[in-house]
Structure 1
Amino acid sequence: MNAPLAVVTVTYSPGEHLRTFLDSLASATTRPVTVLLADNGSTDGAPEAAADERENVRLVRTGENIGYGGAANRAVALTDPAAEFVMVVNPDVRWSPGSIDELLAAAERWPRAGSLGPRILEPDGSRYPSARRVPDLTSGSLHAILGSVWPTNPWTQRYRQDTDAVDERPVGWLSGSCLLLRRVAFDSVGGFDSRYFMYMEDVDLGDRLGRAGWLNVYVPDAVVTHAKGHAAGRHPESMLPAHHESAYRFQADRHPAPWQAPLRGVLRLGLAVRSRIVVASALRRRDGADGVPGDDAPHTQVGTGERRER
């Protein structure tokens, strides 16, 4: 029999998304699966109901809203440390049949893969650019400035890798909405950096894995669909500032020298101004006819990350 696999998901009032997640998981792999719900304070009863109704689901209460990376780390620490792999996934993912087994097969082909991620589809069936380059200060800034007004600019295309062939390959970082993690690699870099409350923790993890000699491998033959942003889209006034703060942390950590203090100051000021602008725009869209903020509203800062359960 194939070895059991732990699947970790961070919940924050996930609603019906969690049921879809668990129902579709049954066809994603032939391995026995244990699901750990790292709950950051749900009030909708969905995590409790899932744990009561399903024998393979375990509820892990974090005690408070400790953020995405911190909650994921806490649940991963409760899994068998001898297990070779663990999955960390958002609860608003719908699995395609065999998707986990495709990731596991790719892990055998790439023994230096610290993380592997699937092709992620939008709810309308279009491909989401989930495998990207690690943003440097220059390309990230130009993407932030031009991404929403000139989506086809070369810096945004280079960063998002929209025009790259859809083939199995190492990339800079992978969407944290669905990751197969080699446990020894994840542990070797200390897991997610819990200083990131939400957003950018996947960019940071991919970058640190790469710096430690591991690969982040995109596996397009594995397919999932991600609803995205069911928590984030409701509260742009808190989510978008958190995203900009994470963007600052990511670049400040990589430019720590005393002589780079003026650069960090300019970066913080610029992101603060941009945060106010995009929050105002997102609130207008949320409260108007256009609905919740679009994908580029929270993502076009200096470096980007995925919408995340808190």
Structure 2
Amino acid sequence: MVILNWNGAHFLRRFLPGVITHADGARIIVADNASTDESVELMARDFPLVELLLLDRNFGFCEGYNQALAQVDSDFFVLLNSDVEVTLGWLRPLRGLLEASPRVAAVQPKILAHADPTYFEYAGAGGGYLDRLAYPFCRGRLFDTLEKDQGQYDDSRPVAWATGACLMVRRSAWQALGGLEPAFFAHMEEIDLCWRLWNAGHEVWYHGGSAVHHVGGGTLPQSSPRKTYLNFRNCLALLYKNAAPSELVGTMLQRLLLDGVAGLRFLAAGQFRNFQAVLRAHFSFYGKLGYWRKQRQEARPHLRVSERPGVYNGSLVWAYFARGKRKFSELIIDSIKF
């Protein structure tokens, strides 16, 4: 298990003891992304038996994990956020699935809200899905609407993407794909990785027999303009890198239109910094188009919407905002490939 930490001493102090208690024999590594708080001192003082891997600067989430995992030799990795509270027996079902199913390259547990574990948590919930324009959602979470956990997603199944908050990955697949996209820095990087895994012939799963509790927003709050910028920029790059050739132009044009609508909504609501963040996201994407074109060539995308598990062949924006759909079960389930 590798916990990437940046100025998260308070989370390490709070949650690392539980990780140690429920490690089930796994090796635990804290990779510190050049923290400026007391994280390193805390590890030496309170957790001297936990391995500490020091990175010489803050590489961000994506390249930080790439740098750290390049130094770890293990058949499976768990990318575990520092703000995750693990539970009794959480690790064994994930490891068992990867050991029993060679085609499965990544799996996530059920993600519940730490503040109220009777509800799903934003980042992952009951498994990650996409609509045909690459808007992400989850079983248990549509946009900001969270469902109560009533056992409705206790199954195990393939999904379009698995959360980076708690993700077990097969090392051979990780290395073959080059890990996370470093240019993303943070946000949506796990969706990009999982999409590339599917395109490479691997499978990505959700396992409802394992559960963890996630604080969420530990690095950037939901309303942060920085987060708005990363989400909009990275989603454009995600779609451009991974959409099938026959679908690329149409989906990109529709996505650009909807991004414009989102920007105008921010402006109408007086959220000028978020409006600016959308503009900056688009200029950043266009400015690095040559880089993203190269990444697309390396990813070799080919799976159409109808061929990808966990994809809603409709518009989530329309279903949520125009039709009032607030739960996963209210979507047209026949339009989602499992």
- TM-score of the pair, normalised by structure 2: 0.67
1:205 counterpart = 2:199? no
For these two proteins, the number of residue pairs brought into alignment is 264
CA distance change for structure 1 residues 88 and 22 in 2, over 3 Å: closer, same or farther? same
The answer to whether the 8 Å contact 1:169/1:217 transfers is: yes
Quote the Cα distance in structure 2 between the aligned partners of 1:49 and 1:166. Answer: 37
Quote the Cα distance in structure 2 between the aligned partners of 1:259 and 1:221. Answer: 36
Quote the Cα distance in structure 2 between the aligned partners of 1:263 and 1:30. Answer: 44
CA distance change for structure 1 residues 142 and 198 in 2, over 3 Å: closer, same or farther? closer
Q: Which amino acid aligns with 2:211?
A: V
Deviations along 1:233-292, one digit per CA (max 9) or x if unpaired, are 1870212111111111111223597996686466446436625745996979xxxxxxxx
1:195 counterpart = 2:183? yes
- Cα displacement (A) at 1:130: 4.3
Is the partner of 1:179 in helix, strand or coil? strand
Q: Percent identity?
A: 22
Q: Aligned ranges for residues 130-209 of structure 1 at < 5 Å?
A: 130-137=126-133, 140=135, 165-209=153-197
The answer to whether the 8 Å contact 2:113/2:213 transfers is: yes
Match of 2:28?
34
Deviations along 1:68-103, one digit per CA (max 9) or x if unpaired, are 1111111000101xx211111111001101211222
CA distance change for structure 1 residues 232 and 277 in 2, over 3 Å: closer, same or farther? farther
Aligned residue among 97, 101, 122 for 2:113: 122
1:225 counterpart = 2:213? yes
Quote the Cα distance in structure 2 between the aligned partners of 1:90 and 1:109. Answer: 25
Match of 1:243?
231
- Cα displacement (A) at 1:12: 2.1
Is the partner of 1:181 in helix, strand or coil? strand
Is the partner of 1:133 in helix, strand or coil? strand
1:72 counterpart = 2:60? no
Is the partner of 2:231 in helix, strand or coil? helix
Q: Aligned ranges for residues 275-294 of structure 1 at < 5 Å?
A: 275=263, 277-278=265-266
CA distance change for structure 1 residues 78 and 175 in 2, over 3 Å: closer, same or farther? same
Match of 2:11?
17
CA distance change for structure 1 residues 279 and 217 in 2, over 3 Å: closer, same or farther? farther
- Cα displacement (A) at 1:198: 1.1
Match of 1:90?
81
The answer to whether the 8 Å contact 1:134/1:203 transfers is: no
Quote the Cα distance in structure 2 between the aligned partners of 1:21 and 1:223. Answer: 15
The answer to whether the 8 Å contact 2:53/2:68 transfers is: no
Match of 1:101?
92
CA distance change for structure 1 residues 199 and 272 in 2, over 3 Å: closer, same or farther? farther
CA distance change for structure 1 residues 270 and 51 in 2, over 3 Å: closer, same or farther? farther
Deviations along 1:33-58, one digit per CA (max 9) or x if unpaired, are 2313241x422212442244322231
Is the partner of 1:232 in helix, strand or coil? coil
1:49 counterpart = 2:42? yes
Quote the Cα distance in structure 1 between the aligned partners of 2:257 and 2:180. Answer: 26
Q: Which runs of 5+ in 2 are unaligned?
A: 273-315, 319-338
Is the partner of 1:195 in helix, strand or coil? helix
Q: Does 97-106 or 84-93 show the bigger shift?
A: 97-106
Q: Which amino acid aligns with 2:82?
A: P
CA distance change for structure 1 residues 218 and 256 in 2, over 3 Å: closer, same or farther? closer
The answer to whether the 8 Å contact 1:48/1:59 transfers is: no
- Cα displacement (A) at 1:206: 0.8
The answer to whether the 8 Å contact 1:69/1:193 transfers is: yes
Q: Aligned ranges for residues 288-303 of structure 1 at < 5 Å?
A: none
- Cα displacement (A) at 1:196: 0.8
Q: Which runs of 5+ in 1 are unaligned?
A: 1-6, 285-299, 303-310
Is the partner of 1:121 in helix, strand or coil? strand
Higher relative contact order, chain-length normalized (CA < 8 Å, sep 6+): 1
Quote the Cα distance in structure 2 between the aligned partners of 1:180 and 1:141. Answer: 20
The answer to whether the 8 Å contact 1:141/1:301 transfers is: no
- TM-score of the pair, normalised by structure 1: 0.73
